[in-house]
Copies of this chain bind each other. A is one copy, B any other.
Amino acid sequence: MGLRMRESGLAGEVVGHARSAATRETALRRGLVHRVCDTAAEAVQGADLVVLCVPVGAMGAVAEAIAPHLEPGATVSDVGSVKRDVIAAVAPHVPDGVHFVPAHPIAGTEHSGPEAGFAELFENRWCLLTPPEGTDPEAAERLARLWRAMGSNVEEMDPEHHDLVLAVTSHAPHLIAYTMVGVADDLRRVTDSEVIKYSAAGFRDFTRIAASDPVMWRDVFLNNKDATLEILGRFTEELFALQRAIRTGDGAMLEDYFTRTRAIRRGIIEAGQDVADPDFGRAARRGVAE
């Protein structure tokens, strides 16, 4: 966000705080911010917009720490992957006269920390705002404008529905990927080096998301427990039906199922949320014209 806001002149000054001095130094060196502060309380002083970018389990404590130092008329937002629990943790600390507009940019890589950011991250990705009832529409619209200026498409959503949608598109897939990678690592009859060498057969696609930040994801699951467990329950039911088709040799059921899932992929390509290059963009990366 800092890189993009500075690049596009979207803020007079971008001020940052992070717990560790090393992160603060890297943020300065990479130009993510104009200056850093040693405490969150100092960093928010005089700010029009305060964005909480910490694991969702830490949002409440940070909100409490900054609350007395927020400017009247300021907006507090966040980038957490869970909305209902974050609202419950943060809203009670937001003083009267300060706006609270929770947000979730659906963008990111498996990398985290101040070295991982790049200004194009939000380009053509969605950002969901989940303002609680009674939020000033103007404050929400101001934040929406900022996200649009950073390249995002913006939509508003009810926090509960957000958590269910994300359980499907993000939280359950992450847990499943973590599980599959864990199984592969555990299996004594197949070595890790075999798993790694032959990963291009499909497994590789799982390992990217299973390399995401452990603390961030621990907190996501603990704070979106109900929706995640619901989707995992549906997933297991469905997986058992397919396992049964394999066991009984029901080829028609398998073929039908696999034909149906193709359509979803086409939708994602058409919506510009992934590329269909048969070479995964390898040729372009090498600078070769196809």
Contacts and interface: CB of A to CB of B under 8 A. Distances in A.
A108 B86 CA distance: 42
Contact of A204 (B128, B178, B273): B273
B284 A284 contact: yes
A265 B211 contact: yes
Given A106-B201, A206-B205, A243 B247 contact: no
A40 interface: no
A53 interface: no
A206 B231 CA distance: 15
Contacts of A285: 275, 281, 284-285
B206 A173 contact: yes
A222 interface: yes
A5 interface: no
Contacts of A208: 205, 265, 274
Copies in the complex: 2
A200 B127 CA distance: 11
Contacts of A81: 201
Q: In the complex, which of the residues A108, A169, A178, A206 has the most CB atoms of chain B within 10 Å of its own CB atom?
A: A169
B176 A218 contact: no
A125 B255 CA distance: 28
Interface in A153-212: 164-166, 168-187, 189-190, 192-212
Nearest to A233: B243
A190 B173 contact: no
A269 to B, nearest CB: 9
A256 to B, nearest CB: 8
Interface of A: 57, 81, 106-111, 116, 118, 120-121, 125-126, 128, 164-166, 168-187, 189-190, 192-212, 214-215, 217-219, 221-222, 225, 228-229, 231-232, 234-236, 238-239, 242-243, 246-247, 249, 251, 254-268, 271, 273-276, 278-285, 287, 290
